[in-house]
Amino acid sequence: MDTTKDPLIITAAVVLFIMLLLFAVVLTFIIRAQRQFYANSSKTVLSRLEILETERTRIARDLHDELSPMLSRVFMYVDVCSNRYGPAVSDFLLPPKDILSHLIERVAEIIKNLEDERIIKNGLQQSILTILEQYRHLQQLQSTFYYKVKSPLSRAATIGLYLILLELIQNTLKHAHASAIEVQIWQWRSFLFFNYKDNGSGTCFSGNPDGTGLKSLQQRIELLGGTPEANTQPGNGFQFHIPLKPHKDGSC
């Protein structure tokens, strides 16, 4: 047996072991750095969304406490004048009364849509049915809604999907000029799927990537752990699909 090769083999084995050890250390460092990066990113997104939620709550409170009473008083004064000064004045004030009445009703609906606790109390399905009926009545936007979810949704998923839908509808009306939309939310095993489709011009978002609405939409989807898939063609409508992964506890 050639013993002169033993030191070389041992040296090579030691060098290989050290290289593997260094590789393992570097790989562990990279994995930890990535985890820390994703954790910090999630905290940043969550912080921004918490600021948005706080601002939405403040706006709802201001509308309820200040704007609604002012509109009601204006309507009361117009109504008094309409009844006091004869048919000519009554006919003249009829259009402003109708506008004020519609405005008061619309502000009340906006306040309801801004209240997160109402969404949680009513549940996602009923909240979406309510908002779709409002858009059908106010914007003549026809809709088809399919909902099949067995597992209870988390608070974040309930509010997040509701606000994502609102943003998509607003952009559809503003940019795509659609007359009908289709909303589908369903569950397959522990995965949740959200699908949105309109029959508009094929453009759901403006070309501005820094728009507040688009940023908010992206942040909400990121917070829910979803990866959006958009499909649009000029004249063939817009489709938006979000598959959501389950949480560690199995909930959506």
The answer to whether the CB of 181 falls within 8 A of the CB of 169 is yes
Q: Give the per-residue pLDDT at 39.
A: 56
pLDDT higher at 141 or 68:
141
82 — pLDDT class (breaks 50, 70, 90) = confident
Distance, in Å, from the CA atom of 45 to the CA atom of 220, rounded to the nearest integer, reads 8
Which positions ≥6 away from 122 have C-beta within 8 Å?
A: 130
Q: Give the per-residue pLDDT at 29.
A: 65
Q: Give the per-residue pLDDT at 43.
A: 62
pLDDT higher at 180 or 108:
180
Distance, in Å, from the CA atom of 244 to the CA atom of 252, rounded to the nearest integer, reads 7
Give residue limits of the domains in the chain: 48-114, 142-252
pLDDT higher at 47 or 223:
223
Average pLDDT, the chain: 76
Indicate the pTM of the whole model.
Answer: 0.62
Q: Give the per-residue pLDDT at 209.
A: 46
Q: Give the per-residue pLDDT at 181.
A: 94
CA angle 178, 181, 182 (to 5 degrees): 160
Q: Which residue has the tokens 């990537």?
A: 209
Which positions ≥6 away from 97 have C-beta within 8 Å?
A: 75, 78, 79, 82
CATH for 142-252 is 3.30.565.10
| Lowest-pLDDT choice from 111-125, 127-141, 158-172 | 111-125
**Over residues 223-239, mean pLDDT:** 82
**Over residues 230-245, mean pLDDT:** 84
44 — pLDDT class (breaks 50, 70, 90) = low
**Over residues 205-224, mean pLDDT:** 66
193 — pLDDT class (breaks 50, 70, 90) = very high
Question: Looking at the predicted structure, is the pLDDT value of residue 58 above 60?
Answer: yes
Q: Give the per-residue pLDDT at 249.
A: 44
**Over residues 179-184, mean pLDDT:** 94
**Over residues 56-67, mean pLDDT:** 70
**Over residues 213-221, mean pLDDT:** 74
